[in-house]
Amino acid sequence: MVVATFPMSPGTVFSWHTHDDHQLAWAAQGVLTVITETGTWVLPPTRALWIPAGLPHETGADSLATMRSLYISVRARVATWTEPTPVAITPLFAELVAYLHEVQAHDQRRARAEALLADLLIPVKVTSIDVRMPVTECARTVAEALRGDPADKRTLREWGRTANVSERTLARAFTRETQLPFSRWRTLVRLQAALTMLAKGQAVGRVAVRVGYDTPSAFIAAFRRETGVSPSAYFSPDGPRQDQPRIPGDEGKAVPG
């Protein structure tokens, strides 16, 4: 295992690339976003992402972050996952990564630490929220505006007037090119934007307003409908538990980050 540290200023993006080794991408500080062809993963310090060797991906941070990556030889047989796999990060795991960053490559202590770290690679079942963008110019303009401001509450008819097309034309473009009706597409855009805010530890009630929901309960219901868990459970250090009962006051909780 090789440990590398990458300080990331706001807006840093490592554009699409691959590695010959497996990678475990982890934010020791801040929040990372890793995009693959099959999903988008938001990673606070309680999560890392196993990226199989040879898989194209893009990694970025919209605010100050420190990425610590483990590069693991394909010959090491540490894990057999062939798809991007979220992993829970415990305090012990974090300490081991820091330890490996300091210990020499051929030190016997390093071999023992690597073996223990491999035992701590615990996958977490997470439903990612992915949004396909339309390609038609009128629909793309609307989509990019909503990704920039998911709280914008204009109706499809109002967007049509802005884009100089009919409501029906826009609706057909979204359905044809994203495989989703506009209302569902906008819901996913709002929830995807919410993930980064939640990962930073912002309170659920505040996030709900920032992504366009009138009430925290409406946001929680939409989030649970798409992911199977409440917003406050999604980034739990132990991993989200599916179909958790709602806890009174959930809308005011900050999510552990």
Report the 10 Å Cβ neighbour count for 157.
12
Domain boundaries, the chain: 2-119, 137-252
What pLDDT, on a 0 to 100 scale, did the predictor assign at position 176?
95
What pLDDT, on a 0 to 100 scale, did the predictor assign at position 76?
83
What pLDDT, on a 0 to 100 scale, did the predictor assign at position 239?
58
Regions of the chain short of the pLDDT cut 70: 105, 237-257
What pLDDT, on a 0 to 100 scale, did the predictor assign at position 250?
46
Fold designation for 2-119:
Jelly Rolls (2.60.120)
What pLDDT, on a 0 to 100 scale, did the predictor assign at position 193?
93
Report the 10 Å Cβ neighbour count for 139.
26
Q: How far apart are CA 93 and CA 213, in angstroms?
A: 37
Class of domain 137-252: mainly alpha
CB 78 within 8 A of CB 100: no
